[in-house]
Copies of this chain bind each other. A is one copy, B any other.
Amino acid sequence: MAAKKERTAISPTRAENFPEWYQQVVKVGELAETSPVRGCMVIKPWGYALWENMQRVLDRMFKETGHVNAYFPLFIPMSFMEKEAKHVEGFATECAVVTHTRLTMREDGTLEPDSPLEEPLIVRPTSEMIIGATYSKWVQSYRDLPLLINQWANVVRWEMRPRLFLRTTEFLWQEGHTVHAFAEEAWEETERMLGLYAEFAEDFMAMPVVRGEKTEGERFPGAERTLTIEALMQDRKALQSGTSHYFGQKFARANDITFLDPSGEEVHAWTTSWGVSTRLIGGLVMTHGDDDGLVLPPRLAPVQAVVLPVIHQEATRHQVLEFCEALKRELAALRWRGEAVRVEIDSRDLRGGEKMWQWIKKGVPVRIEIGPRDLASDSVFVGRRDRSPRDRYSQKRGEFIESLAETLEEIQNHLFEKAKAFQDSHTRVFDDRDEFYRFFAPQDSQRPEIHGGLALAHWCGDPEVEARVGEELKVTIRCIPFAENRNPGRCIFTGRPSPQRVIFAKAY
């Protein structure tokens, strides 16, 4: 017998159709929408404010670890792409190529491209090549190192199957590009930045991640080693959420980045790059969102508490609004986690229910409804986004103000713990190939919801085995996790020896 179904703000629900639920949440949560340009999105003010908060925190973390920002050209000459074979392979099939620099009007008033370029330009899919050419001039001596630079930018990778935030032709990101005089230092940087991403994901996004290294087949094109953080979404697919690459001397060789060491010898430098993108917003949606819409972790929410005047009659309008304005001022003077609390008041003339639901769908952590009765009792009526929309409570005004910082802290922690519990409960260890196959390709079509997740299994390291599992199950090795005990064992596919378990999952 099916339980009585509660009405939810989002239809379909996660269980009914996760991909469609995602689109709906992004839409009604006012994060973004598709644009007239295929594959490119419009990031709406609410979505962009979320991105600004992410940027602000990450930028501070980058600067605290000694990095500075700079800006490099949007375009890359086509010949630069030829320098590093793997890099071409990785990006040549999905790029925007500029071939003309002028439009001419035909007689019928339509336009056509004119003034062809001698050498076409590629809109950057990533900036290793253009930055490499610049660094080869900047780096001359060991005294110029380390060079620790980050760039906030838009990049373009042509997407045939775009999805808002997760796969868009244009997306926003940051890309760090560093140069070092020593291999060890470059490797430490690669690890440091992955750690920083993991800290950001867990402490700010409240999104638990697995830290690990990519297999050769999943590495960034041209990198010697790629580190990754992987998060488990509520549909039990993994989302690669941030990567940090160690290039050894490969990119320095391709781009002629050399320096004179203290003994006067010319040496190729060691380089790294690392990045996260607006894809993180997709991860946030799929980690915390529920069947009523977005759920935003307080540390990143553009508005942490919204005050909603409930006006039934004109007679009390003025009083209610005044009470709300005063409350807003008091709340805005509070501090949480070293920052002023972000409060907004929504005094639009809308039905109270409609107004409340808009803020629920937008994921605001705390809602405060104020009607004439609350004024009389000097109370507020509080809703928390980490609880059911029906689970609201009245609280004395002073008490509420006093406890708001604590409430935000609770919500932040609660979201992380809930997501962590989800990740834990869908992480399984496999020592048997058939069980592994059943996990990812369930026999029981009545209960498709109970399959999939993060699967820890021994693997012999053979890329062909990895490729076969990929073809048969659409499952990839997400990473060789750092945290896993490095106990050797036997590959569940071939029986050959394996140094440690790796993590398999379906992925975005």
Contacts and interface: CB of A to CB of B under 8 A. Distances in A.
Interface string A55-79: 0000000000000111111111111
Nearest to A85: B109
A42 interface: yes
Contact of A123 (B36, B123, B158): B123
A422 to B, nearest CB: 31
Nearest to A41: B73
A318 to B, nearest CB: 21
Given A71-B172, A80-B36, A134-B35, A149 B45 contact: yes
A94 B115 CA distance: 10
Interface string A120-149: 111100000010011000000000000001
Contact of A74 (B52, B111, B154): B154
A97 B68 CA distance: 32
Copies in the complex: 2
A144 to B, nearest CB: 11
Contact of A70 (B42, B113, B156): B42
Contact of A105 (B47, B75, B92): B92
A98 B96 contact: yes
A122 B102 CA distance: 9
B102 A92 contact: yes
A95 B88 contact: no
A103 B130 contact: no
25 contacts: A36-B130, A36-B133, A37-B76, A43-B72, A44-B70, A45-B149, A47-B70, A48-B71, A49-B68, A51-B71, A71-B172, A78-B103, A81-B103, A82-B109, A82-B111, A88-B103, A88-B111, A92-B102, A92-B105, A93-B103, A97-B113, A98-B99, A99-B99, A101-B158, A153-B154
Given A81-B103, A96-B100, 13 more contacts: A35-B133, A36-B134, A41-B73, A42-B70, A48-B68, A74-B156, A78-B111, A82-B111, A88-B105, A97-B99, A97-B101, A113-B120, A153-B154
